[in-house]
């Protein structure tokens, strides 16, 4: 059996079997509770710098396909699972998940007691770790884990951002002939999207509601964005700590009041900072596809997809400037707000989520309404 070891900075060690790339990788060890969508997790830039534990006990059973990628490469540092299926049974599958990860240099450890591991992280908080399929010396790996830079204070958004701007017009494709998806309208609005680690399904959703999107690097100046004459600006999700991203925050401040703005996840956190708020690191973050969020405007509960380790301190925002619109029903963390005077709103969760849930697709329509009102 090819052994693999996951060593945490607190000295805890888990040993299992290696089935991915025979490599050693390090990062913050986090867990995701989604039942489906493992390929989207593999390719989500927001997982840069992280080793991901999947709590669903069997992974790989429906394979992978080109259409479900959220980016052009895999971003996770490593993968930890209970059981990895040797068989893929799905008509959309074109490659085994194991082969997919091995080709992309992602080490995988399976036959781990993921339930015990997740309970440990929920109690102690997420921590740094090393996943190795080449070195099984536990104490040496623990020492390496303790020398990994902390996620707090780490700017990862600049690393994963696109180096050059590009255009996106491709809308959502149905997964099967039976899936009913309305035909996307002709593009009516031009959106400039800051790429802090943007997911492709966000771009598809923007196209689905009639937007032509220009994606720009994370450090693009506000002046250069306005020179593109956008009808609206989108602030994307992304990895790492929002507080070191002061140039990005300054650019956002220079855009507020000049163009409608919609932010998701890291974009939400950066807007919080731009309005004088503060952010903080969560004990073990929110990562999964079943988080209940209350929309305080409609009083409806939305089941939502999450992937973040930081949050905006709701008490740090000036209530005279912003209205708190969404709250997490699990821990009452802030999930969304909008500005009282300017056409600016944001949410912490992922309304574009692939494979779902889809409760919050309406937010893209809300963005279109803001742009329509601003154009009058």
Tell me the pLDDT tens digit for each residue of 357-375.
999 999 999 999 999 999 8
Enter the CATH code of domain 3-146. Answer: 3.50.30.20
- 122-139 average pLDDT score: 96
SS3 for 133-169 is: CCCCCHHHHHHHHHCCCCCCCCCCHHHHCCCCCEEEC
Q: Percent of the chain beyond pLDDT 70?
A: 100
What pLDDT is stored for residue 350 in this prediction?
Answer: 97
Residues annotated as catalytic are: 265, 350, 352
pLDDT band at 135 (very low <50, low <70, confident <90, very high): very high
What pLDDT is stored for residue 312 in this prediction?
Answer: 98
- Give me the chain's average pLDDT, please: 96
Tell me the pLDDT tens digit for each residue of 226-259.
999 999 999 999 999 999 999 999 999 999 999 9
Tell me the pLDDT tens digit for each residue of 163-194.
999 999 999 887 777 777 888 899 999 999 99
What pLDDT is stored for residue 71 in this prediction?
Answer: 96
In sequence order, what are the beta bridge partners of 169? none
For the chain, give every domain's residue range.
3-146, 157-375
Distance CA 118, CA 113 (A): 9
- 3-26 average pLDDT score: 96
- pTM equals 0.96
Q: What are phi and psi of 330, to 5 degrees?
A: -80, -45
The residue among 109, 102, 115, 159 whose CA lies nearest residue 130 is 109
260, 371 contact by CB (below 8 A)? yes
Tell me the pLDDT tens digit for each residue of 271-322.
999 999 999 999 999 999 999 999 999 999 999 999 999 999 999 999 999 9
pLDDT band at 1 (very low <50, low <70, confident <90, very high): low
Cα dihedral: 363, 158, 259, 302 (round 10) = 10
Domain 157-375 has CATH 3.40.1160.10: no
- 83-91 average pLDDT score: 93
């Amino acid at each position: 059996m090819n052994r693999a070891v996951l060593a945490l900075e607190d000295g805890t060690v888990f040993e299992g079997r290696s089935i991915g790339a025979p490599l050693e990788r390090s990062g913050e060890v986090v867990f995701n509770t989604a039942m489906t969508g493992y390929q989207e997790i593999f390719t989500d830039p927001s997982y840069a710098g992280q080793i991901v534990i999947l709590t669903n006990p069997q992974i790989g059973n429906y394979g992978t396909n080109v259409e479900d990628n959220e980016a052009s490469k895999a971003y996770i540092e490593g993968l930890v699972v209970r059981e990895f299926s040797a068989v893929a049974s799905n008509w959309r599958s074109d490659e085994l998940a194991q082969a997919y990860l091995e080709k992309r240099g992602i080490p995988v450890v399976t036959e781990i007691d993921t339930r015990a591991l997740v309970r440990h992280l929920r109690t102690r908080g997420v921590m740094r770790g090393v996943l190795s399929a080449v070195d099984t010396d536990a104490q040496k790996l623990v020492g390496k884990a303790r020398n990994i830079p902390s996620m707090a204070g780490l700017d990862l958004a600049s690393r994963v951002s696109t180096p050059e701007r590009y255009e996106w017009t491709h809308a959502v494709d149905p997964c099967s002939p039976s899936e009913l998806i309305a035909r996307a309208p002709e593009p009516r609005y031009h959106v400039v999207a800051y790429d802090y680690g943007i997911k492709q399904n966000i771009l598809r959703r923007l196209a689905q509601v009639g937007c032509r999107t220009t994606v720009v690097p994370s450090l693009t100046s506000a002046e250069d964005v306005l020179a593109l004459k956008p009808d609206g600006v989108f602030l994307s999700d992304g990895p790492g700590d929002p507080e070191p991203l002061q140039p990005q925050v300054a650019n956002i401040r220079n855009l507020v009041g000049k163009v409608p703005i919609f932010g998701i996840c890291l974009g939400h956190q950066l807007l919080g900072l731009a309005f004088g708020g503060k952010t903080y690191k969560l004990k073990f973050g929110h990562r999964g596809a079943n988080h209940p969020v209350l929309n305080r405007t409609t009083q409806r509960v939305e089941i939502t997809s999450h992937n973040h380790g930081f949050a905006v301190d709701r008490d740090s925002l000036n209530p005279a400037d912003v209205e708190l619109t969404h709250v997490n029903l699990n821990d009452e963390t802030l999930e969304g707000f909008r500005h009282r005077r300017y056409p600016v709103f944001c949410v912490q969760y992922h309304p574009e989520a692939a494979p779902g849930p889809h409760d919050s697709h309406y937010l893209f329509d809300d963005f279109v309404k803001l742009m329509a009102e601003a154009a009058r």
